[in-house]
Structure 1
Amino acid sequence: MCERYSLGKTKQELESRFNAEMLEEFQPRFNIAPSQLLPVITMESPKGFSHFYWGVTPDFSKNKPVSQKFIHAKSETINQRVSYKNSFKRRRCLIPADGYYEWKKVGKKIKIPFRFVLHDNSLFSFAGIWEEYENENGQINHTFLLLTVPANFLVKDINERMPVILSKNQEQVWLDKFSQEDDLLNLMKTYPSEQMVTYPVSPMINQVSIDSEYITRKTSPMDQFGNYTLFG
């Protein structure tokens, strides 16, 4: 469930869309994976980008079964679970993206990757929460995770859940420290199918080391098993 996403936009495009300053350099990303250091916007600093690890730090992610538990949280229980309740109240964040990926199982061992984007291919944000903790070396680390909701009709064929996608107006409510709990919970809605588009992409997306724009291009399902000449 959304174990990869993309942010294939420039620093200038990000700053313009989110009205926030990015002090660090940024290169467009097309194959983002858990444990990587990525831009987010927090309640504490809504006018600037912070860089947090998705789910866990690279060292911690070596324990794969554990790391997978820390990249999502169900929005339906976010205000009830002890592990997330405080972050929901005080440490909410936006996670900028321009698309994400899911894998459709078509056989016992075959999965085809699909990309999901908005109908106009524009930037958007996932609703997220973040945490701060001290590692074994006494250093302070920051991590974030995505909130999820039941999938819409477009996504449901592949996965029962999908990330919470926010509109610009909803982003303001999500980052407002004075927002009431009921208002925040009302943001946890399934994004409309008619405002999204999906298509199959190259299985090269499976390799985290490949982070190039060509993996975001539409690929015929018949080219899923080794025909990469489309991207030469």
Structure 2
Amino acid sequence: MCGRFSLLGTPDEIEALFDLMDIGTFPPRFNIAPTQPILMVVSGETPPPGSNRPDRRALLVRWGFIPGWVKDTANYPLMINARSETAIEKASFKTAMRHRRALIPASGFYEWRRDGDRKSQAYWVRPRDGGIFAFAGLYEPWANAEGSEMDTGAILTTGASENLRFIHDRMPVVIERQDFARWLDCKTQEPRHIADLLKPAQADFFEAIPVSDKVNNFANTGPEIQERVTETQEVRKKPGRAKPPEPDDQMKLF
């Protein structure tokens, strides 16, 4: 699964990797949490005139997928992840799998090894060679009863690669650069055509760095949460769950 991740690349680096035009400016984000806005890259409607650049656009999305048919979110679960193996079969995700696939720029993600029901050790999982990569994502427009609209999204997950299974049995799906166009092409590429992309990353792609439990609190947003710690340190008392930020504050993050 994926419950926290980071995006540390500059706008120029993101534009270059995803073939985007000017996406504006924003700071590095070390601790992106559910319900906060995340950056997604989606396919545009038509190719740019006279350009060889793929038609893609950046979209700011609330991390927490809400199907368009949901009327009241009060009792609806927060869906930040979608299992890639079954997404096309689920009422919540099947339309997005066909029509609204996305790429989610990231620099790494956090995962916790559990000791029973307790999170015993946090890990910062990042590419061994550094840099930015892309999660596979889905997005969905949603409107409340008053007509207020927002885009929502989720990260697709799959079984963990061999070197990460000691932490957790699930991990985000990573889409490689050469597959960006195929993944985003919802016009000619049906879910069955891109099923081969929904697989674990290569075993040597990521490295897992043990970090402190500072990452557990979404209010900790600095680089110190990625500092390596000794895995054998005494497990601290399980922290309480912090209240998510209010939506009005979240949308100020970019």
What is the match of residue 216 of structure 1?
226
Contact 2:39–2:58, Cα closer than 8 Å, also in 1: yes
DSSP 3-state at the match of 1:76: coil
CA distance in 2, matches of 1:162, 1:131: 22
1:154 to 142, 155, 163: 163
Provide Cα deviations, 1:29-56, integer angstroms capped at 9, x if missing partner: 0101110011101123653211000015
| Cα separation, partners in 2 of 1:47 and 1:63, compared to 1, 3 Å | same
**1:22 Cα deviation (Å)?**
4.4
What is the match of residue 37 of structure 2?
37
What is the match of residue 198 of structure 2?
188
CA distance in 2, matches of 1:64, 1:26: 33
What is the match of residue 230 of structure 1?
none
1:103 to 103, 112, 125: 112
What is the match of residue 179 of structure 1?
189
What is the match of residue 12 of structure 1?
12
Q: Where do 4+ consecutive residues of structure 1 move more than 3 Å?
A: 62-65, 106-110, 222-226
Normalising by structure 2, we get a TM-score of 0.79
DSSP 3-state at the match of 1:125: strand
Q: Which runs of 5+ in 2 are unaligned?
A: 46-54, 67-72, 237-254
What is the match of residue 88 of structure 2?
79
Counting only pairs closer than 5 Å after superposition, residues 162-177 of structure 1 correspond to structure 2 as 162-177=171-186
**1:135 Cα deviation (Å)?**
1.7
What is the match of residue 94 of structure 1?
103
More helix by share: 1
CA distance in 2, matches of 1:184, 1:217: 37
Q: Which AA in structure 1 matches 2:64?
A: G
What is the match of residue 58 of structure 2?
49
CA distance in 2, matches of 1:158, 1:73: 19
Q: Which runs of 5+ in 1 are unaligned?
A: 227-232
**1:25 Cα deviation (Å)?**
2.8
**1:216 Cα deviation (Å)?**
1.5
What is the match of residue 117 of structure 1?
126
Question: Paired residues, what number?
Answer: 220
Provide Cα deviations, 1:87-141, integer angstroms capped at 9, x if missing partner: 1111110011010011112466452100111110121011011111112331111
Q: Which AA in structure 1 matches 2:38?
A: L
CA distance in 1, matches of 2:76, 2:167: 22
| Cα separation, partners in 2 of 1:22 and 1:137, compared to 1, 3 Å | farther
Contact 2:121–2:235, Cα closer than 8 Å, also in 1: no
Identity, in percent, stands at 30
Contact 1:202–1:224, Cα closer than 8 Å, also in 2: no
Q: Which AA in structure 2 matches 1:156?
A: R
Give the aligned CA root-mean-square deviation in angstroms: 2.2
What is the match of residue 229 of structure 1?
none
